[in-house]
Structure 1
C-alpha cells in the first residue's frame, strides 16, 4: 500500500463503532448493491470491521490486507465462515481475472492509490463489477484520518478511477469523507 499502513498496536481502534459516522453499514451495503450471490473483496480489511457488515450479503468475501497480523487479530475476533483472508497489496492480488463481482475500500484508498492498483482491480472484477471507495477527502474538514497531503479529493479519485477503465456512477463529497461507486467497463 501507499503512504503507510495502520499501526498494529492501534488495531483496537478499527473496531470503534463511531466509524459508522463516516460510512454506515447500510450506506456501504446499498452502494455495493449486492443480491447475496456475489464474491466480494474488502481492500485493506484490517480487523474486519466492515468485512463483517458485508459478509451476510455476499456468498464469499476476501479480506485483503498487506499485514498478516491484521488477519490474526480478525481470526481471534471471529471471522465469518464465508470470509477468506488474503495477504497481498491491492496492486498485486492473487486472484484470477474476473474473480470478483464487487470490491470496496473504507478509509484505505489513500494507502493503496497509485500506479497499478485500480488497473489490478479492473482486472479482477467481472465486466460491470462494482467498486465502492469510501475515504478521507483532501478537501474535508475535521482532524480525523491521515494527514491532508496523503488524501485525495473526490475529483482526483474520479479521474483515477476513469483512467483505469471504470465508469463512476456516484461521487459524493461529504464534510470529512468521499464516497465513489463505479463499475468496470
Structure 2
C-alpha cells in the first residue's frame, strides 16, 4: 500500500507529548529486549520524537527517514550524540546484513509496508533481533492519523512479518493503533 509520507510543513505536530497516549516509551522499548549496547533503527524517525527517547536506552540509534527535510528539522531541535541520521527508504536500507540488533516503527508502518521493505528489514536485523511496530489501525475511528483506507491492522502486519521470515510474537489491536512484535 505505502501511500504517502508525513507533510514536513506539519512536522511541529510530531513533537506533541500527547503522542505518548498512542505509544509510550515503555511499550516501544520493553519488547525490544535489547541490551544497552544495542544498535537499533527507528524507521520513519521524522523529527526524532521517539528516537530521542529510544536513544536513552541503547548505544546507537539509526534514525531512518526517507525525507531529508525531516532530518533538517531534527537537527534544528538537536540530535543526541548516539543518533545517526540516515536518509533512506525502508526497502533500501544502507546497512550490512545482520547489522542491527533491533528496529522500531511508530506510526509509519503504513508508509513503507511492502514485501520489499519487510524483506530488506529481515536482511539487516540480526537473527534473534526484534522489530516493534506501533501504527494507526484500520480498525480505529480514523479521527487521528492517516485515512483508514491507508492503514493496516495487526493481522495485516503479522502477515507481512511472517511472509518476510520473522516469527510474530505479538500482534494486538488497541483502541486506535496496533502493536506488533516480530523476531527474526
1:37 is matched with 37
1:173 is matched with 173
- 1:33 is displaced (CA, Å) by 1.8
Give the Cα separation in 2 of the matches to 1:101 and 1:130.
7
Question: Which aligned segments of 4 or more residues in structure 1 are displaced greater than 2 angstroms?
Answer: none
- 1:32 is displaced (CA, Å) by 1.5
- 1:2 is displaced (CA, Å) by 2.2
Across the aligned residues of Structure 1 and Structure 2, the Cα RMSD in angstroms comes to: 1.0
1:19 is matched with 19
Secondary structure of the corresponding residue to residue 116 of structure 1:
helix
Secondary structure of the corresponding residue to residue 149 of structure 1:
helix
- 1:34 is displaced (CA, Å) by 2.3
Q: Unaligned stretches of 5+ in structure 1?
A: none
1:88 is matched with 88
Give the Cα separation in 2 of the matches to 1:33 and 1:155.
23
- 1:142 is displaced (CA, Å) by 4.5
- 1:103 is displaced (CA, Å) by 0.2
Give the Cα separation in 2 of the matches to 1:142 and 1:115.
25
Give the Cα separation in 2 of the matches to 1:33 and 1:50.
17
- 1:141 is displaced (CA, Å) by 2.5
- 1:27 is displaced (CA, Å) by 1.3
Q: Unaligned stretches of 5+ in structure 2?
A: none
1:158 is matched with 158
2:143 is matched with 143
Query: After superposition, what is the alpha-carbon deviation per residue over 1:84-104, rounded to whole angstroms, capped at 9, x for unaligned?
Result: 000000000011001100001
Count of matched residue positions in the alignment of Structure 1 and Structure 2: 184
2:121 is matched with 121
